[in-house]
A and B are shown apart, each in its own frame.
Chain A
Amino acid sequence: MKKPANALKERRQINSNTLLLLITIALFFVMYIAGMIAYSSKGFTTVQTLCNLFLNNAALICVACGMTVVMLTGGIDISVGSLVALDCMVLCYGMANWNLSAPAAVLLVIVIGVVMGVVQGFLIGYLEIQPFIVSMAGMFFARGMVSVISTNQLSITADINQAFYNFANLRITFPFGATVNRQGVAIYPYIRLGVVIAILVLIVTFLILRYTKFGRGLYAVGGSEQSAAMMGLNVKRTKMMAYVTCSILTTIGGICFCMNGLMASTTTADGFEMDAISSAVIGGTLLTGGVGNVIGSFFGVLINGTINALVQTDGRLASSWPNILTAALLCVFIVLQSIFAKIKEKSK
């Protein structure tokens, strides 16, 4: 086939998956702008509102990236919520009661994350046990360990660990987009370190998925495990590493979560795993594996966050509405996915 040399560049194909991603991104902007119009009087238009969206969802962005990685292999990890809770608890309790320094505590939770990931990954990858069951056990285990450590609600104050406290409260202020408060003082929008970490995690995960052997291996395994093995990929190890990656990203998310809330209890991050899964699904990642990317999941998180923010801003709606709205949105998206899949099948 003769083609001009410049046609060799990789072409972006607009298939149904990319289309869904575009819909997701468009939906986020539509929702956000609609919110700005509807709730302009309640301060939804400020830059800080957007910053808050990131502030509140930094942890979820990290966790959703991790979830995307395992979902690409066709697996699932429902232990992430509990792991976030465990991370928070270890950080709080460790610094308060074991007198751990901030770096030591952070190192400890990362070790916990890696161990969780390795154990789950080994069981799933090498012993071929269903991801759902393994991570369910992981979920019970992590949530149980939280209670073993403490059933009280703990928090981190400046007295307990000055360094961590300062670190968590470090504000990165933007030099623009200021709002003027009643006293006439200009308040500039700010984010915290957690947001920076989350964005870094997002970029790094994106690059890993696209430009490394491991990343492409995840897609290959998700596309066809048997074929991947035939082509010489170490499927077992790839799967295990997916769970290790997920646990590490989740742990980073857990640290962000702790930095945002500075507290821990047995109910911390309850239902977080489902938020992460629904974000990934809304972002176009298929649970069957092989299709999806973290950019989609990122916008999935933002959509989830925007719904929460809108309901909160409104203030009149019952507390159950964010859940119902997210579920409805999820419903719309998976029905769309299914319709696209059907069209694709028919056109074949």
Chain B
Amino acid sequence: MSALKKFTRSQLFMPVVCVVLVLLINVVYDVAQGRPFYEFFRIYLSDAAQPVLQGRLISILNRGSEVAILAIGMTLVVSASAGTDISVGSVMSLCACVCCTILAGDMAPQTTELAVPLIVGILGGLVVGCLCGAFNGFLVANLNIQPMVATLILYSAARAIGLLVNHDFIIYVRNDTFALLGGYIGPIPTPIIIAAACIAIALLVLKKTALGMYIQSVGINRKASRIAGLNSALIIFVCYLICGLCSGISGVVASSRITSADPAAIGLTFEMDAILAVAIGGNSLGGGKFNLAGSIIGAYTIQAITTTMYNLGISSAVAPVFKAVIIIIIVVVQAPPVKAYFARRRAAKALPTAKKEAASV
């Protein structure tokens, strides 16, 4: 099989095609608008006193950080438990609230000073994220509750608890140190660095340990995995824990971006984006085999779509319509009957060479 053919059948094919398509639309639009074709890729330093990197590509990477981080946890959860964690957006909001409430201390709801060292607030947020993850994980792994139902609890409760933590206020922490997390380190946007670090750690863990195989194994056949010596419940639990941690990190970054914790706004519909990222990445939402790289590409694709739509002058209120259409196109192309149809046409063309499929019969 040629390298090209191999690639078109690989799981990463679709997500990459999506990215290329989005890029193309941008380039065509730019050229049509009389801008150079490389406008989209142009990265430049702003001319402020402290120059920072700017450009559409940077903006996509920057804005897509939260979803990318969430996509890591979501991919593992989907793989191990054949279900989605729909609570991530709400948990993000709760973590942001906890983080900011700790940081603001007595000075809530508005402060420019930190009541406690930054790290305490961050850790507070992350610990709450982990607790939420552990709660979901316990329900799914130990009580065998369907993931969507189990996470439905925190989906509706976490945001409400966040509001309770905030005493119904929006907590503002207008502090430069705190703003750093959602701002810039040197010329580079911090969220990009954080997301890159998370992705790197995740990939490293999956490469260097057998966690990836364990998760897939449990996701495909939980009972068989147990007989083969895996602690299925623990592995599923860990996936949810990681997902909770990812929500925590995203939540802290998101609140730092706007230097406040607004329970109603932070992480709104992020669960949808995170799940979408996993799906665009070519991963089955039915669990089992996964490809983390696909999900990450999926996450940035979503952001690229959003950014492109703004670029094309589509209002943010209308954007969901286009998003819906794009989702449908992507999933239809990947739908099993559609794939089977193309496979049949391919097979009809190349009958004698396809010996491989015969071995499976």
List residues of A whose CB falls within 8 A of some B CB: 76, 123, 126-130, 132-134, 136-141, 143-145, 147-148, 151, 266, 271, 274, 277-278, 281, 286-288, 318-321, 323-324, 326-328, 330-331, 334-335, 337-339, 341-342
**Which of B36-44, B122-130, B151-159, B235-243 is found at the contact surface with chain A?**
B151-159
- Our pick among B139, B152, B154, B332 for the contact of A129 (Cβ within 8 Å) is B332
Q: Is B157 touching A323 in the complex (CB atoms < 8 A)?
A: yes
Chain B residues within 8 Å of A319, by CB: 163, 168
Q: A143-B320, A266-B317, A323-B157 are in contact. Are A133 and B285 (CB under 8 A)?
A: yes
The answer to whether B317 touches A334 (Cβ under 8 A) is no
Q: Does A141 lie within 8 Å of B337, measured CB to CB?
A: no
B contacts with A, residue count (CB < 8 A): 46
Residue of B nearest to A271 (CB): B156
Q: B180 at the A/B interface (Cβ < 8 Å)?
A: no
Nearest residue in A to B161 (C-beta to C-beta)?
A324
Which chain B residue lies CB-closest to A236? B337
**Could you list some 14 contacts between A and B, CB below 8 A?**
A126-B337, A132-B148, A133-B276, A133-B279, A140-B327, A143-B320, A271-B156, A281-B149, A323-B157, A324-B164, A327-B153, A328-B157, A334-B150, A339-B143
**Cβ 8 A contact of A141, one of B159, B272, B324:** B324
Within 8 A of A (CB), among B288-336: 315, 317-325, 327-328, 331-332, 335-336
Cross-chain contact A129 with B335 (CB below 8 angstroms): yes
**Whole-angstrom distance between the Cβ of B293 and the nearest chain A Cβ:** 20
Which are the 9 A-B pairs with shortest beta-carbon distances? A144-B321, A327-B157, A147-B317, A144-B320, A141-B324, A320-B160, A323-B160, A140-B320, A140-B324
A324 lies within 8 A of B160 (CB): yes
Query: Does B343 make an interface contact (CB < 8 A)?
Result: no
Hey, which bits of chain B sit against chain A, CB under 8 A? 84, 139, 143-146, 148-150, 152-157, 159-161, 163-164, 167-168, 272, 275-276, 279, 285-286, 315, 317-325, 327-328, 331-332, 335-338
Residues of A within 8 A of B149 (CB): 281, 287, 330, 334
Question: A136-B272, A323-B160, A338-B144 in contact; A123/B332 too (CB < 8 A)?
Answer: yes
Residues of B within 8 A of A324 (CB): 157, 160-161, 164
Contact A144 B323 (CB under 8 A): yes
How far is it, in angstroms, between the C-alpha of A148 and the C-alpha of B279 when the chains are bound? 27
Bound complex: CA A342 to CA B145 (Å): 11
Select B164's contact among A130, A134, A151, A318, beta carbons within 8 Å: A318
Structural contact, A141 and B321, CB atoms closer than 8 A? yes
Most chain B CB inside 10 Å of its own CB: which residue of A151, A286, A327, A328:
A327
Known A-B contacts A327-B160, A330-B152; the reply to A147 vs B318 at CB < 8 A is yes
B317 touches A151 (CB 8 A): yes
> Which of chain A's residues have a CB closer than 8 A to the CB of B145?
334-335, 337-338
In the assembled complex, how far is the CB of residue B90 from the closest CB belonging to chain A, in whole angstroms? 10
Assess A148 versus B161: contact at CB under 8 Å? Given A130-B285, A323-B156: no
Residue in A129, A134, A277 with the greatest tally of chain B CB atoms within 10 Å: A129
Q: Quote the shortest CB–CB distance from B156 to chain A (angstroms).
A: 5
Whether the Cβ atoms of A127 and B153 lie closer than 8 Å is no
**Would you give the shortest CB distance from B343 to chain A, in whole angstroms?**
14
Partner of A288, one of B146, B286, B317: B146
Complex: A334 Cα to B157 Cα, angstroms: 15
* A132-B84, A328-B157, A334-B145 known; A127+B332 contact, CB < 8 A: yes
A138 to B328, CA, bound (A): 9
Shortest C-beta distance, B308 to chain A (Å), equals: 16
* Closest CB in chain B relative to A121 CB, distance in Å: 13
Q: With a CB–CB cut-off of 8 A, which chain A residues contact B139?
A: 331, 334-335, 338
A288 to B335, CA, bound (A): 21
Closest-by-CB residue of A relative to B157 is: A327
| Residues of B close to A127: CB separation below 8 A | 332, 335-338
Q: How far is the CA of A123 from the CA of B272 in the complex (A)?
A: 19
What CA separation (Å) do A136 and B279 show in the bound complex? 12
Judging by beta carbons under 8 Å apart, are B144 and A341 in contact? Answer: yes
Residue of B nearest to A330 (CB): B153
Residues of B within 8 A of A271 (CB): 156
Tell me if B153 and A318 are in contact (CB < 8 A): no
Complex alpha-carbon distance, A132 and B151, angstroms: 14
In the bound assembly, the distance between CA atoms of A341 and B157 in angstroms comes to: 25
CA distance A202 to B48 in the complex (A): 63
Residues of B within 8 Å of A331, CB to CB, are 139, 153
CB distance from A293 to the nearest CB of B (A): 17
Q: Is the CB of B146 within 8 A of A287?
A: yes
How far is the CB of B312 from the nearest CB of chain A, in Å? 15
* Given A318-B163, A324-B160, A327-B160: A140 in contact with B336 (beta carbons within 8 A): no
Residue from B156, B272, B323 with most neighbouring chain A CB atoms (10 Å):
B156
Cα(A134)–Cα(B272), bound, Å: 12
Which chain B residues border A341 with CB–CB below 8 Å? 144
Considering the complex, give the chain B residue whose CB is closest to the CB of A147.
B317
Q: Contact between A287 and B157 (Cβ–Cβ < 8 Å)?
A: no
**Which of A130, A138, A277, A327 is the one whose CB lies under 8 Å from B286?**
A130
Docked CA distance A135–B235 (Å): 30
